[in-house]
Amino acid sequence: MGGKHYLPLTDEDRREMLKKIGVNSIEDLFSDIPEEVRLTKDLDLPPAMSELEAVKHLNSLAAKNRHLNNCTSFMGAGVYDHFIPSLIKHVIGRSEFYTSYTPYQAEISQGILQAIFEYQTMICQLTGMEVANASMYDGSTAVAEGAIMGCGATRRSKALVSLSVSPFYRAVLQNYFNSRGLELEEIPLKDGYTDFSKLEEMLDDKVASVVLQQPNFFGLIEDLDGVADTIHNHKALLVVSTDPLSLPLLKAPADYGADIVVGEGQGMGIPPSFGGPLLGIMATRQKYVRQLPGRISGQTIDSEGNRGFVMTMQTREQHIRREKATSNICTNEALVALAAAVYMAAMGPQGMREVAGQCLQKAAYAREKITAVDGFEAAFSGPSFKEFAVKVPGKPEELNQKLLQKDILGGVDISPFYPELENTMLFAVTEKRTREEIDTLVRELEGWK
């Protein structure tokens, strides 16, 4: 039988236990299942594997994949190849952390509760916000929940989202809004940026949330000075999706008037994992804390006056408020938030700034070199952070195929999301890329077509 080593009961145990219960057989324990629906056959699954065989099988599957450790990656679009310090896996590999559940019993969960409190603090330090939750599933669901939170806080039912917000996020946002019967309108683009003159026209007293992204999907830095005032004049809220690794250099969202900050935290010590698990970041101002979804760790004292931590403000949550909760989220991405906390603690202000600075410098170098190649044109002008869009002279798919032969994962083809941007690719350059790797990419581009 499979999995014997995980099932400690012996046949002798089972006999004794049945006797104690007062039934004759195992079947008696399942007699409450109506006979008509009982399964009369064995489940048709492959024969059970031993640990050795399973490891071999999983290794063979993993070996069929190319990955960022055997390729040089210029892929981004929300998930990036950043450096992951070794200590992270040792911390999240502590099984007291990873084998625990949501910390319902605070007195034996001080480890995760304090770590989440520290994570919340550091997210606030990065964003300038006053309160952060313990995480959302990913950037896309954080965006959707942020927009919905704006509806709750303003008691309105409409959101505006810029087309410069990731299409991956907008898809989820659209779906959440469709289902709930909320209205969503798209703010058009102007040369790769949000068209803020259109935003002014679109704002009315029905709009609850305006969703922007900084840096935007094309890697460009939006000029957000004064935008929050325009939005606040209509009593709507500014929801900003951001890349936390850009924040050591870029203005904190609080400083340009954001009300809700969301984003994808994968860059902070979390592997890309084929797109999951990721880390949804969510933070806001103190005055909106009652509309914030998700778990929050708060400080308190114990019976002897010692500092301790508990899950708090739970009257927002599903297990207490049921249908009146701010969200249905229950399980989140706590262990991933822990990884991000370890990352921020180890990097510190200096390391975070160093990472952001190298991304900025290396991406600028690559952008200059790539767009100097014949036929490769910058899709947009203006400052960018760690990625940039390029119009290429041919099919992106064919270019990536050629690059792969040199063990390079090229840019992400964004034409499917923006039909007006034909043959356009997004190249991401993180601190991990070297000048030599960038130069190699450029040489390959020169030899194409």
Partner 1 sequence: MRKQKALLFEMGRAGRCGYSLPSNDVPEKSLSELLPKNVQREEQLELPELSEVEVIRHFTELSTRNFGVDTGFYPLGSCTMKYNPKVNEEVAALPGFTHMHPCQPEHTVQGALELYYNMEQHLKEVTGMDRFTMQPAAGAHGELTGLMVIQAYHRHRGDHQRNKVLVPVTAHGTNPATVTMAGYEVVQIPADERGNVDLEALKEAVDETTSALMLTNPSTLGLFEEEILDIAKVVHEAGGLLYYDGANLNAIMGYVRPGDMGFDVVHLNLHKTFSTPHGGGGPGTGPVGVKERLIPFLPKPLVDKKDDQFYFDYDLPNSIGKVQSFYGNFGVVVKAYNYVCMMGADGLKQASTDAVLNSNYLATLLQDNYYIPYDRIRKHEFVVSAKPEKKKGASAADIAKALLDRGFHPPTVYFPLIVDEALMTEPNDTESKETLDAYARAMEEIARAIDEDAEKVAAGPYYTVVGRLDEVRAVRNPILRWQKE
Q: Contacts with partner 1 in 1-20 (CB under 8 A)?
A: 1-4, 6-9, 13-14, 16-18, 20
Residues with Cβ within 8 Å of residue 287, at least 6 apart in sequence = none
Verify binding: residue 312, partner 1, rule CB under 8 A.
yes
Let me know: does 283 contact 146? Beta carbons within 8 Å: no
What 3-state class would DSSP assign to 430? coil
Stretch that binds partner 1, among 185-193, 198-206, 228-236, 315-323 (CB under 8 A): 315-323
Residues 6+ apart with CB under 8 A from 203: 160, 210, 230, 231, 233, 234, 236
Which lies closer to partner 1 via its Cβ, residue 100 or residue 198?
A: 100
Q: Which is nearer to partner 1, 156 or 234 (CB)?
A: 156
Binding positions for partner 1, 354-413, rule CB under 8 A: 354-355, 357-358, 360-362, 364-365, 383, 397, 400-401, 404, 409, 412
Q: What is the CA radius of gyration of the chain?
A: 25
Nearest to 172 by CA among 325, 82, 275, 271: 275
Burial of 230 (0-12, 13-18, 19+ CB in 10 A): middle
Binding residue for partner 1, selected from 190, 191, 275, 443, defined by CB under 8 A = 275
The 415-434 contact track toward partner 1, x by CB under 8 A, reads ----------------x--x
Taking CB under 8 A as the binding criterion, the range among 168-176, 194-202, 205-213, 227-235 that sits at the site for partner 1 is 168-176
Nearer to partner 1, 198 or 312 (CB): 312
Residue among 34, 149, 77 at smallest CA distance from 414: 77
Cβ proximity to partner 1, 21 vs 447, nearer residue: 21
Smallest distance, partner 1 to C-beta of residue 426, A: 9
Q: Does the footprint of partner 1 cover residue 43 (CB under 8 A)?
A: yes
CB of 72 to partner 1, least distance (A): 12
Angle between helices 396-405 and 435-446 (to 10 degrees): 120
CA 429-430-431 angle, to 5 degrees, is 135
The footprint of partner 1 on residues 171-230 (CB under 8 A) is 171-172, 174-176, 178-181, 221, 223-225
Omega cis (within 30) before 349: no
User: Under the criterion CB under 8 A, does residue 299 sit at the interface with partner 1?
Assistant: yes
407-445 burial, b if ≥16 CB within 10 A, otherwise e?
A: ebbbbbbbbebbeebebbbbbbbbbbbeeebbebbbebb
146, 161, 168, 227: which one contacts partner 1 (CB under 8 A)?
168
30 binds partner 1 (CB under 8 A): yes
Nearest CB to partner 1, comparing residues 153 and 412: 412
Query: Which residues, 6 or more positions from 65, have their beta carbon under 8 angstroms from its beta carbon?
Result: none
List the one residue from 219, 227, 263, 328 that touches partner 1 (CB under 8 A): 328
* Cβ-based nearer residue to partner 1, 157 or 195: 157
Site for partner 1 in 105-144 (CB under 8 A): 105-112, 114-118, 120-122, 124-126, 130-132, 134-135, 137-141
Binding mask 86-105 for partner 1 (x = CB under 8 A): -x-xxxxxxxxxxxxxxxxx
